[in-house]
C-alpha cells in the first residue's frame, strides 16, 4: 500500500514537472542551454582590464575574442567601470573562485596582486599579464609593449622633432600604474643628456580625457613656459590637444601622444598633434589568448612576449 502511494506520488510529481516544463518551455530551454554552454568550449578564460569601457581595452578584448573563437574558448571580459586597483583585484579573486581555466589581466604592482597571482597559480589556474607587466609576481608570462622602450621612443622623437629650449609637461594615466611609470622613466632617460629639453612638471589624468584636460590646465597654470607635452596613456593626447587648441594666439606646444585610437589619428592628420607612440592592443589580446592556450596544452612560450611599438607622425620620417 505504502509503495503504491509512493509510486503514485512520484508519478504525480513527474507529471507536474513535465507540465511546468511544457508551460514554461521556452524559458526552461534557454536557461538550460545557457547554463550548459561553457561545457561546449575547450576552455573558459577571463580577461581583466584596467577599465572596462575604455576604447583601448575594447581593442584588447576584440583581439582576445578573435583568438578565442579560433580555439573554441569561452571568453569573459571584466574590469572596473573606472580605473581602480582594488576593484580590479576583486575581479581577479572572483575569477579564481569561479575556477576558470586561465586568467589574463593588466599587471598591478602591489603585494595583494602578487598574493592573488600566487593563489591562482597554486590552484592550477595559469595567470598572465597583458599590457602592463608585474615581473615581481609569479605570473606565467607577459604580453604587451616594452613600456620603458616605448617611453624612450617618445623621448627620442621629441629630441628629433624639436629644436631650441623645450619645457615639457607630462600628462600620465595614473601615478601608480607601472606601465605609466616606465613610459615616463624611458622618456626622462632619453632626454636626460639633452640640456635643451627639460621636464617642467607632471600631472595625472586618471586615464580619462576630462582628467587629461584638467591636468593640462593645471600644468599650464603652474608652468607658464611649457612648450611641449607628452601624454602617456591613450586619452591623454586628446585632452592635451583640446586645451592647446585654445592657445591660438601663441604657437601651439609640440605634442606627443600615446596610442592610435581613431580620434588621435584624426588629430595627427590635422597636425594638431605631432606624433604618437603606436601600440598594438588587438595583437596583445590575440597573443595573450594564444599564450594562455599553449600553456594549457603544456607548452611554455617565453615569459616576455613583447608586442611592437612604433612612432607615427603625419609625414612619417620627414618631420622638420
Ligand atoms: C595603456 C593602458 C591604459 C590605456 C588608458 C594605454 O596607453 O597601455 O594601460 O589603460 O592607455 O586609456
Confidence of residue 300 (pLDDT cuts 50, 70, 90): confident
Mind listing the pLDDT tens digit for each residue in 138-156? Answer: 999 999 999 999 999 999 9
Q: Is the pLDDT of residue 288 over 50?
A: yes
User: Residue 191's pLDDT is what?
Assistant: 98
Alpha carbon distance 115, 64 (integer Å) = 25
Alpha carbon distance 14, 8 (integer Å) = 10
Distance of CA 24 from the midpoint of ligand 1 (Å): 46
Which segments of the chain are extended strands (E)?
Answer: 44-48, 74-78, 102-105, 127-130, 142-144, 166-172, 197-204, 228-231, 254-258, 275-278, 304-306, 310-313
In the chain, the percentage of residues whose pLDDT exceeds 90 is 82
Mind listing the pLDDT tens digit for each residue in 25-51? Answer: 433 333 333 334 556 899 999 999 999
Distance of CA 177 from the midpoint of ligand 1 (Å): 10
Buried-state track 140-177, b at ≥16 Cβ within 10 A, e below 16:
bbbbbbbbbbbbbbbbbbbeebbeeebbbbbbbbbeeb
Q: Which mutation among 132, 149, 154, 173 tests ligand 1's pocket best, with the greatest number of atoms within 8 A of CB?
A: 173
Confidence of residue 136 (pLDDT cuts 50, 70, 90): very high
Q: Is the pLDDT of residue 13 over 90?
A: no
Distance of CA 76 from the midpoint of ligand 1 (Å): 20
Tell me the average pLDDT across 103-109. Answer: 98
pTM (two decimals)? 0.87
Distance of CA 92 from the midpoint of ligand 1 (Å): 19
237: closest CA among 221, 253, 218, 220?
A: 253
Q: Is 233 in the pocket of ligand 1 (CB under 6 A)?
A: yes
User: Residue 27's pLDDT is what?
Assistant: 37
Alpha carbon distance 75, 78 (integer Å) = 10
User: Residue 246's pLDDT is what?
Assistant: 83
Confidence of residue 249 (pLDDT cuts 50, 70, 90): low
Confidence of residue 12 (pLDDT cuts 50, 70, 90): low
Alpha carbon distance 273, 235 (integer Å) = 13
Alpha-carbon distance values, 54 to 57, 80, 128, 207, 208 (Å): 5, 10, 20, 9, 9
Q: Is the pLDDT of residue 306 over 90?
A: yes
Amino acid at each position: 500500500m505504502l509503495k503504491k502511494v509512493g509510486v503514485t506520488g512520484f508519478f504525480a510529481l513527474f507529471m507536474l514537472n513535465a507540465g511546468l516544463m511544457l508551460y514554461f518551455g521556452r524559458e526552461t530551454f534557454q536557461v538550460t542551454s545557457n547554463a550548459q554552454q561553457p561545457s561546449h568550449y575547450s576552455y573558459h578564460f577571463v580577461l581583466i582590464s584596467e577599465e572596462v569601457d575604455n576604447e583601448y581595452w575594447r581593442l584588447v578584448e576584440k583581439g582576445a575574442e578573435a583568438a578565442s573563437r579560433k580555439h573554441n574558448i569561452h571568453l569573459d571580459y571584466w574590469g572596473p567601470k573606472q580605473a581602480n586597483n582594488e576593484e580590479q583585484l576583486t575581479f581577479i579573486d572572483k575569477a579564481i573562485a569561479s575556477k576558470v581555466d586561465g586568467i589574463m589581466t593588466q599587471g598591478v604592482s602591489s603585494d595583494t596582486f602578487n598574493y592573488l597571482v600566487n593563489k591562482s597559480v597554486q590552484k592550477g589556474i595559469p595567470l598572465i599579464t597583458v599590457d602592463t607587466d608585474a615581473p615581481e609576481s609569479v605570473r606565467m608570462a607577459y604580453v604587451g609593449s616594452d613600456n620603458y622602450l616605448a617611453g624612450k621612443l617618445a623621448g627620442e622623437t621629441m629630441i628629433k622633432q624639436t629644436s631650441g629650449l623645450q619645457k615639457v609637461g607630462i600628462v600620465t594615466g595614473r601615478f601608480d600604474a607601472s606601465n605609466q611609470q616606465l613610459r615616463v622613466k624611458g622618456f626622462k632617460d632619453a632626454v636626460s643628456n639633452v640640456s635643451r629639453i627639460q621636464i617642467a612638471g607632471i600631472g595625472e589624468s586618471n586615464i580619462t580625457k576630462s582628467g587629461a584636460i584638467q591636468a593640462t590646465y593645471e600644468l599650464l597654470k603652474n608652468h607658464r613656459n611649457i612648450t611641449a607635452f607628452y601624454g602617456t596613456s591613450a586619452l591623454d593626447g586628446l585632452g592635451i590637444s583640446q586645451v592647446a587648441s585654445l592657445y591660438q594666439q601663441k604657437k601651439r606646444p609640440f605634442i606627443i601622444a600615446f596610442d592610435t585610437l581613431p580620434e588621435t589619428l584624426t588629430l595627427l592628420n590635422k597636425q594638431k598633434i605631432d606624433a604618437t607612440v603606436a601600440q598594438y592592443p588587438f595583437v596583445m589580446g590575440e597573443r595573450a589568448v594564444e599564450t594562455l592556450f599553449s600553456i594549457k596544452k603544456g607548452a611554455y612560450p617565453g615569459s616576455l612576449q613583447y608586442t611592437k611599438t612604433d612612432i607615427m607622425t603625419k609625414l612619417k620620417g620627414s618631420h622638420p
